[in-house]
Amino acid sequence: MAAALDGIRVLDMAWQGPGTFCATILGDLGAEVIKIYEARPERRGGPLVFLYPDSPIFPGWRNCKTMGINLKTREGLSIFRKLARTADIMVEGFRPGTTKRLGIDYDAVKKINSRIIYASLTGYGQDGPYRDVVGHDINYISIGGLLGTTRGSDGTPAIPRTVLADFAAGGMAAVIGILAALTARDKSGRGQYVDVSMTDAIVGLMMPVLLPSLLGETVSEQGENIATGEEHRPWYNVYKTKDGKYISVGSVEPWFYANLCRLLGREDFIEHQYAEGEKREEILKYFEQTFLTKTRDEWLKILRQKDTCVAPVYSPQEVISDPHLIARGMFVKVPHPTMGEAKQIGPIIKLSRSPFKARNWAQRFGQHTDEIMQELGYKKARIKKLREAEVIG
Protein backbone atom coordinates (compact mmCIF):
# COMPACT_ATOMS: atom_id res chain seq x y z
CA MET A 1 0.00 0.00 0.00
CA ALA A 2 1.21 3.48 -0.85
CA ALA A 3 2.17 5.84 1.96
CA ALA A 4 -0.14 8.80 2.60
CA LEU A 5 2.43 11.40 1.49
CA ASP A 6 4.01 9.29 -1.24
CA GLY A 7 5.33 11.59 -3.97
CA ILE A 8 5.63 14.62 -1.67
CA ARG A 9 9.12 16.11 -1.36
CA VAL A 10 10.19 18.05 1.73
CA LEU A 11 13.25 20.27 2.03
CA ASP A 12 14.18 20.30 5.71
CA MET A 13 16.31 23.38 6.32
CA ALA A 14 15.85 23.29 10.10
CA TRP A 15 19.12 22.75 11.94
CA GLN A 16 17.50 20.75 14.74
CA GLY A 17 14.55 20.75 17.18
CA PRO A 18 10.96 21.42 16.13
CA GLY A 19 11.62 21.58 12.39
CA THR A 20 13.38 18.23 12.50
CA PHE A 21 10.53 16.74 14.55
CA CYS A 22 8.04 18.07 12.02
CA ALA A 23 10.03 16.62 9.11
CA THR A 24 10.29 13.25 10.89
CA ILE A 25 6.50 13.01 11.11
CA LEU A 26 6.11 13.97 7.46
CA GLY A 27 8.72 11.35 6.55
CA ASP A 28 6.90 8.70 8.58
CA LEU A 29 3.77 9.57 6.61
CA GLY A 30 5.62 8.80 3.40
CA ALA A 31 7.15 12.09 2.27
CA GLU A 32 10.67 12.17 0.82
CA VAL A 33 12.65 14.35 3.21
CA ILE A 34 15.91 15.96 2.14
CA LYS A 35 17.79 17.46 5.09
CA ILE A 36 19.99 20.33 3.95
CA TYR A 37 22.85 21.43 6.17
CA GLU A 38 25.88 23.63 5.67
CA ALA A 39 28.59 22.22 3.46
CA ARG A 40 30.94 22.11 6.49
CA PRO A 41 28.66 21.84 9.56
CA GLU A 42 31.54 21.10 11.91
CA ARG A 43 32.62 24.71 11.59
CA ARG A 44 29.67 25.84 13.71
CA GLY A 45 29.95 22.99 16.18
CA GLY A 46 27.26 20.90 14.59
CA PRO A 47 23.93 19.85 16.11
CA LEU A 48 23.60 16.96 18.51
CA VAL A 49 23.17 14.53 15.67
CA PHE A 50 26.79 14.85 14.59
CA LEU A 51 28.00 13.71 17.99
CA TYR A 52 26.55 10.29 17.12
CA PRO A 53 27.45 9.79 13.45
CA ASP A 54 26.49 6.11 13.37
CA SER A 55 23.44 6.19 15.62
CA PRO A 56 19.76 6.63 14.70
CA ILE A 57 18.87 8.25 18.03
CA PHE A 58 18.37 11.77 16.72
CA PRO A 59 14.93 12.51 15.23
CA GLY A 60 15.05 12.70 11.46
CA TRP A 61 17.68 10.07 10.68
CA ARG A 62 15.04 7.68 9.35
CA ASN A 63 13.12 8.31 6.14
CA CYS A 64 15.38 11.15 5.09
CA LYS A 65 18.33 11.97 2.91
CA THR A 66 21.10 14.41 3.82
CA MET A 67 23.15 16.81 1.77
CA GLY A 68 25.23 19.91 2.36
CA ILE A 69 24.95 23.20 0.47
CA ASN A 70 26.85 26.42 1.03
CA LEU A 71 24.00 28.90 0.48
CA LYS A 72 26.39 31.84 0.72
CA THR A 73 27.91 30.96 -2.67
CA ARG A 74 26.35 31.73 -6.04
CA GLU A 75 26.55 28.10 -7.16
CA GLY A 76 25.18 26.85 -3.85
CA LEU A 77 22.17 29.13 -4.17
CA SER A 78 21.66 27.89 -7.72
CA ILE A 79 21.62 24.28 -6.50
CA PHE A 80 19.09 25.16 -3.82
CA ARG A 81 16.80 26.84 -6.36
CA LYS A 82 16.87 23.77 -8.57
CA LEU A 83 15.87 21.66 -5.57
CA ALA A 84 13.17 24.13 -4.56
CA ARG A 85 11.54 23.78 -7.99
CA THR A 86 11.08 20.06 -7.29
CA ALA A 87 9.78 20.42 -3.74
CA ASP A 88 6.28 20.49 -2.30
CA ILE A 89 7.22 21.62 1.20
CA MET A 90 10.05 23.56 2.79
CA VAL A 91 10.63 23.67 6.54
CA GLU A 92 13.05 26.15 8.08
CA GLY A 93 13.95 27.25 11.59
CA PHE A 94 16.16 30.29 11.03
CA ARG A 95 15.72 33.55 12.95
CA PRO A 96 13.31 35.95 11.21
CA GLY A 97 15.04 37.76 8.37
CA THR A 98 17.81 35.21 7.88
CA THR A 99 16.25 33.43 4.91
CA LYS A 100 15.73 36.79 3.16
CA ARG A 101 19.42 37.61 3.57
CA LEU A 102 20.28 34.21 2.11
CA GLY A 103 17.86 34.64 -0.77
CA ILE A 104 15.76 31.61 0.18
CA ASP A 105 12.76 33.33 1.83
CA TYR A 106 9.17 32.53 0.89
CA ASP A 107 8.85 35.42 -1.58
CA ALA A 108 11.98 34.25 -3.40
CA VAL A 109 11.00 30.57 -3.43
CA LYS A 110 7.39 31.07 -4.52
CA LYS A 111 8.61 32.96 -7.61
CA ILE A 112 10.17 29.74 -8.88
CA ASN A 113 7.59 27.38 -7.36
CA SER A 114 4.13 28.81 -6.73
CA ARG A 115 2.96 25.47 -5.29
CA ILE A 116 5.53 25.43 -2.48
CA ILE A 117 4.26 25.20 1.10
CA TYR A 118 6.84 27.07 3.12
CA ALA A 119 6.82 26.62 6.91
CA SER A 120 8.89 28.83 9.22
CA LEU A 121 9.29 27.72 12.83
CA THR A 122 10.51 30.34 15.29
CA GLY A 123 10.27 31.02 18.99
CA TYR A 124 7.98 34.04 18.80
CA GLY A 125 6.75 34.24 15.20
CA GLN A 126 7.47 36.45 12.21
CA ASP A 127 6.00 39.64 13.68
CA GLY A 128 5.29 41.27 17.05
CA PRO A 129 7.58 42.95 19.60
CA TYR A 130 9.47 39.72 20.41
CA ARG A 131 10.09 38.77 16.77
CA ASP A 132 13.87 39.11 17.05
CA VAL A 133 14.29 37.85 20.62
CA VAL A 134 16.34 34.66 20.85
CA GLY A 135 15.21 31.71 22.96
CA HIS A 136 14.85 28.01 23.57
CA ASP A 137 12.14 25.68 24.82
CA ILE A 138 12.41 26.80 28.45
CA ASN A 139 11.85 30.42 27.40
CA TYR A 140 8.77 29.67 25.30
CA ILE A 141 7.06 27.66 28.05
CA SER A 142 7.89 30.53 30.40
CA ILE A 143 6.24 33.27 28.41
CA GLY A 144 3.40 30.94 27.39
CA GLY A 145 2.47 30.43 31.04
CA LEU A 146 3.20 26.72 31.33
CA LEU A 147 6.34 26.96 33.47
CA GLY A 148 4.83 29.47 35.89
CA THR A 149 1.83 27.26 36.54
CA THR A 150 3.81 24.03 36.92
CA ARG A 151 5.44 24.19 40.34
CA GLY A 152 7.05 21.85 42.82
CA SER A 153 6.01 21.54 46.45
CA ASP A 154 8.25 24.49 47.39
CA GLY A 155 6.63 26.73 44.79
CA THR A 156 9.59 26.72 42.39
CA PRO A 157 8.65 26.36 38.69
CA ALA A 158 9.36 22.78 37.62
CA ILE A 159 11.12 22.35 34.26
CA PRO A 160 9.49 19.51 32.24
CA ARG A 161 11.65 16.53 31.32
CA THR A 162 10.94 16.91 27.59
CA VAL A 163 10.77 19.78 25.12
CA LEU A 164 7.10 20.72 25.09
CA ALA A 165 7.25 23.94 23.09
CA ASP A 166 9.52 22.50 20.39
CA PHE A 167 7.89 19.11 19.94
CA ALA A 168 4.43 18.79 21.53
CA ALA A 169 3.44 22.33 20.55
CA GLY A 170 5.53 23.86 17.75
CA GLY A 171 6.51 20.72 15.83
CA MET A 172 2.97 19.37 15.90
CA ALA A 173 1.48 22.73 14.93
CA ALA A 174 3.81 22.85 11.94
CA VAL A 175 2.69 19.40 10.76
CA ILE A 176 -0.98 20.38 11.10
CA GLY A 177 -0.43 23.66 9.25
CA ILE A 178 1.49 21.96 6.45
CA LEU A 179 -1.10 19.22 5.97
CA ALA A 180 -3.88 21.85 5.95
CA ALA A 181 -1.96 23.83 3.34
CA LEU A 182 -1.54 20.69 1.22
CA THR A 183 -5.31 20.20 1.29
CA ALA A 184 -5.87 23.84 0.34
CA ARG A 185 -3.38 23.48 -2.51
CA ASP A 186 -5.41 20.58 -3.91
CA LYS A 187 -8.27 23.05 -4.30
CA SER A 188 -6.44 26.21 -5.38
CA GLY A 189 -3.31 24.87 -7.04
CA ARG A 190 -1.19 27.29 -5.04
CA GLY A 191 1.01 26.90 -1.98
CA GLN A 192 1.22 29.27 0.97
CA TYR A 193 3.27 30.43 3.91
CA VAL A 194 2.96 28.74 7.32
CA ASP A 195 4.12 30.88 10.26
CA VAL A 196 4.61 28.73 13.38
CA SER A 197 5.56 30.20 16.75
CA MET A 198 6.49 27.83 19.56
CA THR A 199 5.15 30.36 22.05
CA ASP A 200 1.82 30.63 20.21
CA ALA A 201 1.53 26.85 20.24
CA ILE A 202 2.20 26.66 23.99
CA VAL A 203 -0.47 29.31 24.62
CA GLY A 204 -2.84 27.05 22.69
CA LEU A 205 -1.97 24.11 24.94
CA MET A 206 -2.63 26.32 27.96
CA MET A 207 -6.28 26.88 27.05
CA PRO A 208 -7.77 25.27 30.22
CA VAL A 209 -5.59 27.49 32.43
CA LEU A 210 -5.85 30.75 30.48
CA LEU A 211 -9.54 30.76 29.54
CA PRO A 212 -10.75 31.69 33.05
CA SER A 213 -8.51 34.77 32.98
CA LEU A 214 -9.82 35.73 29.55
CA LEU A 215 -13.35 35.48 30.92
CA GLY A 216 -12.53 37.81 33.81
CA GLU A 217 -12.23 35.24 36.55
CA THR A 218 -9.64 35.58 39.29
CA VAL A 219 -6.97 32.92 38.87
CA SER A 220 -4.16 32.19 41.32
CA GLU A 221 -0.53 32.67 40.32
CA GLN A 222 -0.23 28.95 39.78
CA GLY A 223 -3.29 28.89 37.54
CA GLU A 224 -4.93 26.24 39.70
CA ASN A 225 -7.61 24.15 38.06
CA ILE A 226 -8.93 20.62 38.21
CA ALA A 227 -7.04 19.48 35.11
CA THR A 228 -3.63 20.33 36.61
CA GLY A 229 -4.32 18.70 39.96
CA GLU A 230 -3.27 21.89 41.75
CA GLU A 231 -6.65 22.15 43.49
CA HIS A 232 -5.72 18.92 45.30
CA ARG A 233 -8.98 17.21 44.57
CA PRO A 234 -8.85 13.68 46.02
CA TRP A 235 -10.29 12.25 42.80
CA TYR A 236 -7.76 13.97 40.48
CA ASN A 237 -4.36 13.58 42.00
CA VAL A 238 -1.14 11.59 42.29
CA TYR A 239 -0.53 9.28 45.25
CA LYS A 240 2.60 7.64 46.62
CA THR A 241 2.38 3.90 47.20
CA LYS A 242 4.03 1.44 49.57
CA ASP A 243 6.95 0.72 47.25
CA GLY A 244 7.83 4.41 46.80
CA LYS A 245 6.23 4.58 43.36
CA TYR A 246 3.24 6.67 42.33
CA ILE A 247 -0.21 6.15 40.86
CA SER A 248 -2.35 8.75 39.11
CA VAL A 249 -6.08 9.01 39.74
CA GLY A 250 -8.44 10.84 37.38
CA SER A 251 -11.90 9.80 38.59
CA VAL A 252 -13.61 12.96 37.37
CA GLU A 253 -17.02 11.56 36.45
CA PRO A 254 -19.25 10.71 39.47
CA TRP A 255 -19.58 7.06 38.48
CA PHE A 256 -15.79 6.64 38.28
CA TYR A 257 -15.42 8.36 41.64
CA ALA A 258 -18.07 6.10 43.16
CA ASN A 259 -16.20 3.02 41.95
CA LEU A 260 -12.97 4.42 43.42
CA CYS A 261 -14.56 5.02 46.84
CA ARG A 262 -16.05 1.54 46.97
CA LEU A 263 -12.76 -0.13 46.06
CA LEU A 264 -10.95 1.96 48.68
CA GLY A 265 -13.47 0.87 51.30
CA ARG A 266 -15.19 4.22 51.86
CA GLU A 267 -18.56 4.21 50.15
CA ASP A 268 -19.61 7.01 52.51
CA PHE A 269 -17.31 9.39 50.60
CA ILE A 270 -19.33 9.05 47.37
CA GLU A 271 -21.79 11.85 48.10
CA HIS A 272 -18.94 14.21 49.04
CA GLN A 273 -17.03 14.30 45.76
CA TYR A 274 -17.20 18.09 45.52
CA ALA A 275 -16.84 18.79 49.24
CA GLU A 276 -14.70 21.71 50.35
CA GLY A 277 -12.84 22.52 53.54
CA GLU A 278 -12.48 19.91 56.27
CA LYS A 279 -14.42 17.17 54.44
CA ARG A 280 -12.25 17.42 51.37
CA GLU A 281 -9.13 17.32 53.54
CA GLU A 282 -10.50 14.25 55.33
CA ILE A 283 -11.02 12.40 52.04
CA LEU A 284 -7.63 13.49 50.69
CA LYS A 285 -5.84 12.37 53.85
CA TYR A 286 -7.60 9.01 53.81
CA PHE A 287 -6.69 8.44 50.16
CA GLU A 288 -3.05 9.36 50.84
CA GLN A 289 -2.78 7.01 53.81
CA THR A 290 -4.63 4.19 52.10
CA PHE A 291 -2.49 4.22 48.96
CA LEU A 292 0.59 3.81 51.17
CA THR A 293 -0.67 0.40 52.33
CA LYS A 294 -0.03 -1.42 49.03
CA THR A 295 2.38 -1.28 46.12
CA ARG A 296 1.58 0.62 42.96
CA ASP A 297 0.96 -2.49 40.90
CA GLU A 298 -1.18 -4.05 43.63
CA TRP A 299 -3.40 -0.97 43.56
CA LEU A 300 -3.63 -1.08 39.79
CA LYS A 301 -4.85 -4.65 39.93
CA ILE A 302 -7.46 -3.74 42.56
CA LEU A 303 -8.69 -0.48 41.04
CA ARG A 304 -8.90 -1.76 37.49
CA GLN A 305 -11.52 -4.28 38.54
CA LYS A 306 -13.91 -1.38 37.89
CA ASP A 307 -13.68 1.78 35.80
CA THR A 308 -11.77 4.22 38.00
CA CYS A 309 -9.39 6.09 35.64
CA VAL A 310 -6.07 5.14 37.22
CA ALA A 311 -2.63 4.66 35.71
CA PRO A 312 0.92 4.02 36.90
CA VAL A 313 3.42 6.88 36.98
CA TYR A 314 6.18 5.36 34.87
CA SER A 315 9.92 5.81 34.68
CA PRO A 316 11.39 5.95 31.14
CA GLN A 317 12.45 2.30 31.36
CA GLU A 318 8.93 1.29 32.38
CA VAL A 319 7.47 3.26 29.49
CA ILE A 320 9.47 1.40 26.86
CA SER A 321 8.62 -1.95 28.51
CA ASP A 322 4.88 -1.39 28.73
CA PRO A 323 2.99 -4.16 26.87
CA HIS A 324 0.22 -1.85 25.67
CA LEU A 325 2.61 0.69 24.15
CA ILE A 326 4.57 -2.15 22.55
CA ALA A 327 1.35 -3.58 21.11
CA ARG A 328 0.48 -0.13 19.76
CA GLY A 329 3.76 -0.06 17.84
CA MET A 330 5.23 2.84 19.79
CA PHE A 331 8.58 1.04 20.11
CA VAL A 332 9.59 -0.73 16.95
CA LYS A 333 12.56 -2.60 15.56
CA VAL A 334 13.26 -1.64 11.99
CA PRO A 335 15.92 -2.90 9.57
CA HIS A 336 19.07 -0.80 9.58
CA PRO A 337 21.93 -1.02 7.05
CA THR A 338 24.72 -1.27 9.66
CA MET A 339 23.02 -2.07 12.98
CA GLY A 340 20.95 -4.96 11.71
CA GLU A 341 17.95 -3.67 13.59
CA ALA A 342 17.39 -0.26 15.15
CA LYS A 343 14.98 0.38 18.01
CA GLN A 344 12.96 3.50 17.41
CA ILE A 345 9.96 5.42 18.70
CA GLY A 346 7.18 4.30 16.40
CA PRO A 347 4.84 6.52 14.38
CA ILE A 348 2.53 8.67 16.46
CA ILE A 349 -0.07 8.70 13.67
CA LYS A 350 -1.61 5.40 12.56
CA LEU A 351 -3.32 5.24 9.17
CA SER A 352 -5.25 2.10 8.25
CA ARG A 353 -4.34 2.10 4.55
CA SER A 354 -0.95 3.78 4.75
CA PRO A 355 1.23 1.93 7.27
CA PHE A 356 4.52 3.25 8.63
CA LYS A 357 7.75 1.98 7.10
CA ALA A 358 11.39 2.94 7.55
CA ARG A 359 12.24 3.32 3.88
CA ASN A 360 15.80 4.59 4.22
CA TRP A 361 18.37 5.78 6.74
CA ALA A 362 20.82 8.66 6.87
CA GLN A 363 23.87 7.41 8.76
CA ARG A 364 26.17 10.34 8.17
CA PHE A 365 26.15 13.94 7.06
CA GLY A 366 26.01 14.48 3.30
CA GLN A 367 25.33 10.80 2.64
CA HIS A 368 23.00 11.47 -0.28
CA THR A 369 24.55 14.60 -1.77
CA ASP A 370 25.88 12.85 -4.89
CA GLU A 371 22.59 11.03 -5.45
CA ILE A 372 20.55 14.22 -5.22
CA MET A 373 22.98 16.24 -7.35
CA GLN A 374 22.91 13.61 -10.10
CA GLU A 375 19.13 13.66 -9.99
CA LEU A 376 19.32 17.42 -10.62
CA GLY A 377 21.44 16.74 -13.71
CA TYR A 378 24.97 17.33 -12.41
CA LYS A 379 27.77 15.11 -13.77
CA LYS A 380 30.19 13.32 -11.45
CA ALA A 381 33.13 15.51 -12.48
CA ARG A 382 31.18 18.66 -11.74
CA ILE A 383 30.03 17.28 -8.38
CA LYS A 384 33.64 16.57 -7.46
CA LYS A 385 34.71 20.14 -8.28
CA LEU A 386 31.81 21.63 -6.31
CA ARG A 387 32.74 19.53 -3.30
CA GLU A 388 36.40 20.56 -3.53
CA ALA A 389 35.24 24.18 -3.64
CA GLU A 390 33.10 23.52 -0.54
CA VAL A 391 29.94 24.51 -2.37
CA ILE A 392 28.44 21.17 -1.39
CA GLY A 393 29.24 18.66 1.33
The residues annotated with a catalytic role in the active site are 136, 166
Residues paired with 69 in a beta bridge = 392
H/E element, 34: strand 32-37
| Alpha-carbon gap, residue 135 to 151, rounded angstroms | 21
CB neighbours of residue 77 within 10 Å: 18
| Alpha-carbon gap, residue 263 to 281, rounded angstroms | 19
**Whose CA is closest to 83, among 376, 378, 380?**
376
Sequence-distant (6+) residues with CB within 8 A of 202 are 140, 141, 144, 145, 146, 164, 165, 169
**Contact present, 195 and 181 (Cβ < 8 Å):** no
**Contact present, 362 and 33 (Cβ < 8 Å):** no
Residue 4: half-sphere exposure toward Cβ, Cα within 13 Å: 17
| Alpha-carbon gap, residue 102 to 89, rounded angstroms | 18
CB neighbours of residue 280 within 10 Å: 17
| Alpha-carbon gap, residue 3 to 386, rounded angstroms | 35
DSSP string of 61-90?
SBTEEEEEB-TTSHHHHHHHHHHHHH-SEE
